[in-house]
Structure 1
Amino acid sequence: MAKVIHEFNDYIRKLRKELFGKGPERIHTVFVENMAVSTLYGNLTPTELFIAQTSEGRDIVHNARTKMIQDVYAKNHPVKLEEIVDAKFINLFSDMKVEEDIAISVFVFNKKLENLID
């Protein structure tokens, strides 16, 4: 299972780096039922950190990041993630706590990921 989680995390990091110019510094993923739940730490770019110094700026960063991620997965089917977990991608739920630079993404698949769970 460690190899699958490592591949899953590497793909998420690569995609976020391509999208935002910086990938998360650390990712922790667990598989639960038909979901992969990923907690991402150290996501924000220096520019986003600067913008997030005000309440309005935090809202802007939060809205932009969560909307972009959801749009990317809605428009560009994540075939690579499906290959990694051997299941069809159904949906993504994501949110971010800008003040702590922590994001969470819940990837929902069409079947239990039990073959990946120890």
Structure 2
Amino acid sequence: MSKSKGFIEAEISKALTSWEKEYLGRGSVSVKTNILNDMIIVTLQGVLTPAEYAVCQTKEGRYSIKKLRSDLVESGYDLLKKLILEITGETVISFHTDISTRTGERIIVFKLPLNYEETLVSKQK
């Protein structure tokens, strides 16, 4: 029996939480994954530390935190691609990420070469 869309989304959320703790040293407060067409969209809440929020009070501080956090996540891109491949069986063709210095929320988008959501739905029939 093939895995459901919800099961795969939960597996990705769990794997990203583990990756954050192992690779970045701490995890987010909550993680939600959605598969939409050819994208896997991951929303991570509570990413910034209290000290980072303090630094974000200035324009220069916001840019500094955004750059540092972006560099950290992108340095783990190969591990993240491998994670997605292991869970979905699909290769990531591109990766996009941004963080809100106001809310401490990070969005990660993995772009796949095909409509993965449609593939999952057709397997369930």
CA distance in 2, matches of 1:80, 1:103: 18
Q: Secondary structure at the match of 1:88?
A: coil
Q: C-alpha deviations, 1:15-36, integer Å up to 9, x for none?
A: 1222332211112221122110
**1:55-74 matched pairs, under 5 angstroms:** 55-73=59-77
Given that 1:95 and 1:105 are in contact with CA atoms closer than 8 Å, whether structure 2 keeps it comes out as yes
Q: Count residues with an aligned counterpart.
A: 117
What is the aligned-residue identity percentage? Answer: 26
| Higher mean displacement: 40-49 or 81-90 | 40-49
Q: Secondary structure at the match of 2:109?
A: strand
Match of 2:102 in 1: 99
Match of 2:82 in 1: 79
- Say whether 1:111 aligns with 2:95: no
Pick the structure with greater CA Rg. 2
- Say whether 1:15 aligns with 2:19: yes
Q: Secondary structure at the match of 1:82?
A: helix
Structure 2, unaligned runs of 5 or more: none
**CA RMSD for the aligned pairs?**
2.0
Cα deviation, residue 66, structure 1: 1.4
2:51 alignment partner AA: T
Given that 1:92 and 1:105 are in contact with CA atoms closer than 8 Å, whether structure 2 keeps it comes out as yes
CA distance in 1, matches of 2:53, 2:120: 36
- Say whether 1:4 aligns with 2:11: no
Given that 2:39 and 2:109 are in contact with CA atoms closer than 8 Å, whether structure 1 keeps it comes out as yes
CA distance in 2, matches of 1:67, 1:5: 25
> Higher strand share goes to which structure?
1
Structure 1, unaligned runs of 5 or more: none
1:18/1:89 CA distance change after superposition, 3 Å = same
Given that 1:85 and 1:116 are in contact with CA atoms closer than 8 Å, whether structure 2 keeps it comes out as no
1:57/1:95 CA distance change after superposition, 3 Å = same
